[in-house]
Amino acid sequence: MSRSGLIISAAFCALALLAPWLAPYHPKADTDVPLAAPSARHLLGTDDVGRDILSQVISGSRISILVGLIAGLAAAALGLLVGLLAGYLGGAVDRILMRTVDVFLAMPRLPLLILLAAYLGAGIWVVVICFVLVSWAMPARVVRAQVRVEKQRPYVTSARLSGARSIYVLRKHIVPALSPLALAIVIMEISHAIMIEAGMSFLGLGDPTATSWGTILHHAFSYPALFLSDAWIWWALPPGVCLSLLLLGLALLAMEVERKVDPRIEGGRLGG
Amino acid sequence: MAAENARALLDLSSLEVTYGPDQAPVVQDLCLRIERGQAVGILGESGAGKSTIALAILDLLPRAARRKGRIHFDGLDLLGRAESIRAIRFRRISLVLQDCMNAFNPVIRIGEQIAELWVCHERTRWKEALRRAGALLERFGLSAELTGSYPHELSGGMRQRVALAMAVALSPELVIVDEPTSALDVVTANAVVELLGAVRRESGASLLVISHDVSVLARCCDRIAVMGEGRILEEGPAARVLRQPEHAATRSLIAAVPRLAAFREKP
């Protein structure tokens, strides 16, 4: 039970890596009659242009996870860097960076995303850039607070008085002390990025030529008669279930990581 | 004094420190000389500005703080050339902080924290530096095996010893010790005071000991300066200051020591 997050996340990563070998058909190949019900040839049936849905869901994991990883890591890295600089340097740098963070935190996320994507055009890199723009501010603030705590530690003063440069203090004392927090932030950002990518693709703001869970949902919901038959069960449900499962796995993984690195949370019981 | 016109190791004159633009000075019009090999004590009650002097010398004050006056160390103007302070810290002037027993990184082994000094300052190899760390601990009456321990595995007194050992690791000319005994029991405090004497004998370094405890300074200093409200109230040879205090503040600090008999004029 304690490893379920790791197992779910690893399983989806394996699915994404092995997609070309696991998928029975090419995700864009016109394989059969449109809207075929599940059968031995098409375990999840086909969509309105006759593409195999199972193959689409398997291949779709690649874009979802790849964009999630790139965008999540980039947003977390930018947030960590800004938080580290603002927290450690303080003074004018801190004020300028934190006011910028405030501006980005105050902006409504989804309308901004839609606006940005509409201006920049659809595409995977647009999704990445949009996500980084709306998601770097929160981790920056969290990290800054933690850096300010670490900076006050007596051993940091000691290191400085024994002649250590700032960069040495950061590398030796502050960054290692931040690593559990950083790991949790990275996982959280990746899971947000996967959700945002799916959301943008669902709204038709992702790359229309790429197959991701979001674009499968987009196509399914664009089909006017989706709910007039049982087709939604094998067309719209599987990508949604995959998405939910992966996000659940990442959330569990973040909790497991937290439990591993924070000695105060022992056996699910929060101690003082 | 004979060395009056010779260059002092540390020469503070008209030093003034404020912690912010509109704040009253914490230290003002402070003059203090430390000759080579001398041990000078600064005595004063809490809040007198004693620790501020130590931080001011090494440029470790908060950013908003301002220093005025003159800080000369071996002819170098420490106020004028702030960028060179890193070359001075620990190599030429070391400081043992007031709460030094808590000043270790809890997740790095003691040996690594000591060895780091030589690795970073003298480009010693890690293996050699760790060996020297063990030897240094033995010189300070600790087991060389402590290099493999984490700070929480040591008692407060042991950590204090390690901190003192680290202060002389790079053979500085001046060792500043801020309240070396304030968090220790009497027996351990005694051992630390003896250790201070050993530090001086062994390394030949000058000492600047900051304390509110007369008995500590009485046992390890040649000269004592008494501070109050940011100023030096009186200064002189330790025996004279303790036996014939001129200032009321000195008298009350001496009276605060339970074992008064030790400083009373012998009949």
Q: Which runs of E-coded beta strand occur in chain B?
A: 10-18, 27-34, 39-44, 66-73, 76-77, 93-96, 174-178, 206-211, 223-228, 231-237
Between CA A113 and CA A147 the distance in angstroms is: 30
**Closest chain B C-alpha to A163 CA, distance in angstroms:** 5
Contact check, Cβ <8 Å, B100/A91 = no
Residue B42: Cβ within 10 Å count: 28
* B68, containing H or E segment: strand B66-73
Contact state of B102 with A160 under an 8 Å Cβ cutoff: no
Across the interface, whether the CB atoms of B102 and A165 are under 8 A apart is answered: no
Asked if B103 and A162 count as a contact pair (C-beta separation under 8 A), the reply is no
Least-confidence region, from A257-271, B153-167, B224-238:
A257-271
> CB distance B102–A154 less than 8 Å?
yes
Whether B27 has a pLDDT exceeding 60, the answer reads yes
What is the Cα A33 distance to its own chain's centre? 35
- B177 pairs with which residues across the strands? B96, B209
CATH number for the domain spanning A51: value is: 1.10.3720.10
Total-model pTM = 0.78
Q: What is the mean pLDDT of each run of 10 residues along chain A (272 residues)?
A: 85 92 85 81 83 90 92 95 94 94 89 85 85 93 93 88 88 89 91 92 84 90 84 88 94 85 54 36
Number of domains in chain A: 1
ipTM: 0.76
Domain containing A38 equals 2-268
Residue with tokens 């002389």: B168
Alpha carbon distance A143, A76 (integer Å): 10
Rounded to 10 deg, the angle between the A53-89 and A237-261 helix axes is 40
| Residue contact A161–B95, C-beta within 8 A | yes
What is the chain B residue with the closest CA to A154?
B103
Contact B99 A154 (CB under 8 A): yes
Of A66, A4, A78, the residue nearest A198 (C-alpha): A66
Q: Which residues of B touch A157 (CB under 8 A)?
A: 60, 97, 103
pLDDT number for residue A260: 76
Evaluate whether B173 touches B74 at the Cβ level (below 8 Å).
yes
What phi and psi, each to the nearest 5 degrees, are found at residue B208? -125, 105
pLDDT at residue number A259: 79
Which of A161, A164, A177 is closest, CB to CB, to B58? A161
Q: Do A155 and B166 touch (CB under 8 A)?
A: no
Query: Which residue in B has a C-alpha nearest to residue A164's C-alpha?
Result: B86
Count CB atoms within 10 A of the CB of residue A4. Answer: 13
Residues of chain B contacting A, Cβ within 8 Å: 58, 60, 63, 86-87, 89-91, 94-95, 97, 99-100, 102-107, 116-117, 120-121, 166
